[in-house]
Amino acid sequence: MLRNTTLFFVGAFGYGQIELLYRGYTHWTMLAAGGVILLVLRGLDCVLPRRVPLLARCAVGSGCTTGLELAMGLICNRMLGMGIWDYSDRWGNLWGQICPRFSFYWFLLCIPVFVCFACADRLRAALRPA
């Protein structure tokens, strides 16, 4: 429970920081999305066998992140009219909520996330009493 709570807040804080650097502002829903997606990525990391190549893991992670972004966008932006983001002017966008450019960014961001998970698992295994 503590590990999942910690992961949620690390994801929320990390995503919020990325948004602040990229756009200059963020929204509380993006913090929630960042927390949820880090938990989803950790779940993927635990389910996918280690023999699955890193880039394949990142492709799956990017797909999950993009899917969450689409769901949040359809609910928050389209249904509730919150206007948090709009990718209508981006190439390949879907309903102004997702686009290939940001899916690629999520792919790149998954690389250090999955590497950190692997390092944490190795460290935990090394510290486990024999």
Residue 107 pLDDT: 98
Q: Write the pLDDT tens digit of every residue in 1-38.
A: 888 999 999 999 999 999 999 889 999 999 999 999 99
Checking if the pLDDT of 128 tops 90, the result is: no
Checking if the pLDDT of 72 tops 90, the result is: yes
Q: What percent of the chain has pLDDT over 70?
A: 99
Q: Where are the domains of the chain?
A: 2-127
87 in Cβ contact with 96 (< 8 Å): yes
Give me Rg for the CA atoms of the chain. Answer: 16
In the structure encoding, which two tokens stand for residue 80, read together? 């509730």
Amino acid at 56: A
Residue with tokens 């999942």: 4
Whole-number Å distance between alpha carbons of 125 and 130: 10
Counting other chains too, the contacts that 101-106 makes at CB distance below 8 Å and 24 or more residues apart are 102/66, 102/69, 103/62, 103/63, 103/65, 103/66, 104/62, 106/61, 106/62, 106/65, 106/66, 106/69
Q: What percent of the chain has pLDDT over 90?
A: 88
